[in-house]
Amino acid sequence: MVATDTRRLSVFETMQPDLDRVTARVEEVAKLDYPLAAGIIGEIVRAGGKRLRPLLLLLSARAYDYDEAFERLVTAGAGVELLHIASLVHDDTVDKAQLRRGKPTLNSVLSTGATILMGDFLFAQSAMLAAATGHVAVVSVFASTLGHLCNGQLLEMFDGHRLDQPVESYERRIYGKTASFYAGSAEMGAILGGAPPSHLEELRAFGGDIGLGFQVLDDILDLSQETATIGKPAGNDLRQGTVTLPVLLYVQGIDRGSPEWKTVDDIVSGDITDDATIDHLTALVRASGAIAEATVTADAYIDRAKERLAILPDRETREMLEELADFFGNRTS
């Protein structure tokens, strides 16, 4: 007997046809004249992931003039996805990453110089898509989103290893490197859909909040999961010298200048690199309650995001955005 699938379609399933249009647009624009690079970038595009940014962009217009604005929404959605891909190309170069989504990175195959230029070329193509919406406010949000992203990553690079930072600095950093992109995607969608200004602001803030929740959870997973589950060594952020929320909360609970404090400091400044010490610190953070505390923070962001949706006129879209928030908050399984 064949089981009949009577469950409601997920937000991803419902939006799939529209997202496929976005993907087709990205593939069209990301074509490069250089066969080797074209192949690699084509693979990155197709490997794809969930297209969370275009999805949020589309959903942010869905309660308004969605149909009239549809072509421009697809264009803007392709723009944010391509901006995402361009920033991945540069990120992988910065991090000297060899694999992305299980495939060799551009920088693992080509010179640093070629990879920089190809990332720049993709930035240019993504900006052309933003301009092709014909909406100067969209371009403005687009450009400032790129500014936020770079600033967030620079903050992480220059200040991310400091143990004496307040939680606000951590928040500012993850807002820049992660949440600003979701805030911007929501805002672009709301602008193109013709949402009234108050809705636009709430949708932008919604995007920012789910982005913050998502990044805090990602930082928690890096410490709490076993290596086998996340496919990279636990404590990877520590190894890279990045102080995330759980570590920050942990050090706030110990004396500055104590041997424990010194050990954390030596790890994030790269003076200690041996696995045993890092694993031991990971265990200490897990045992300290810092992870539970960080989880409360992540949940609060997701809850705040969902509260913002009360303003939305359309119940179906509201439920889809709530579902998306839960997905970001890792509450789907």
Residue 105 backbone phi and psi in degrees, to 5: -75, 160
Q: Is 56 in the site for a copy of itself (CB under 8 A)?
A: no
Q: Is 128 in the site for a copy of itself (CB under 8 A)?
A: yes
Smallest distance from the beta carbon of 141 to a copy of itself, in angstroms? 9
* CB closer to a copy of itself out of 271 and 275: 271
Q: Is 31 in the site for a copy of itself (CB under 8 A)?
A: no
Fill in the per-residue mask, 77 to 116: x = in contact with a copy of itself (CB under 8 A), - = not in contact.
----------x--x--xxx----------------xxx-x
- Provide the token pair at 65: 């003039």
Query: Greatest CA separation found in the chain?
Result: 67
Stretch that binds a copy of itself, among 137-145, 199-207, 304-312, 317-325 (CB under 8 A): 137-145
* CB closer to a copy of itself out of 145 and 263: 145
Is 132 in contact with 147 (CB distance < 8 Å)? no
Helices (H), the chain: 11-29, 35-47, 52-62, 66-95, 106-109, 112-132, 136-159, 167-174, 180-193, 197-224, 227-230, 236-239, 245-252, 259-268, 275-287, 290-308, 315-328
* CB closer to a copy of itself out of 166 and 289: 166
Q: Is 135 in the site for a copy of itself (CB under 8 A)?
A: yes
Smallest distance from the beta carbon of 142 to a copy of itself, in angstroms? 8
Q: How many residues of this chain bind a copy of itself (CB under 8 A)? A: 41
Is 133 in contact with 76 (CB distance < 8 Å)? yes
- Provide the token pair at 225: 């999961």
Q: Is 151 in the site for a copy of itself (CB under 8 A)?
A: yes
Smallest distance from the beta carbon of 54 to a copy of itself, in angstroms? 19
Residue 201 and residue 203: Cα distance in Å, rounded? 5
- Provide the token pair at 213: 């929740």
List of residues 6+ apart from 8 with CB closer than 8 A = none
Smallest distance from the beta carbon of 332 to a copy of itself, in angstroms? 33
Binding site for a copy of itself (CB under 8 A): 33-34, 87, 90, 93-95, 112-114, 116-121, 123-125, 127-128, 130-132, 134-136, 139-140, 142-144, 146-147, 149-151, 153-154, 157-158
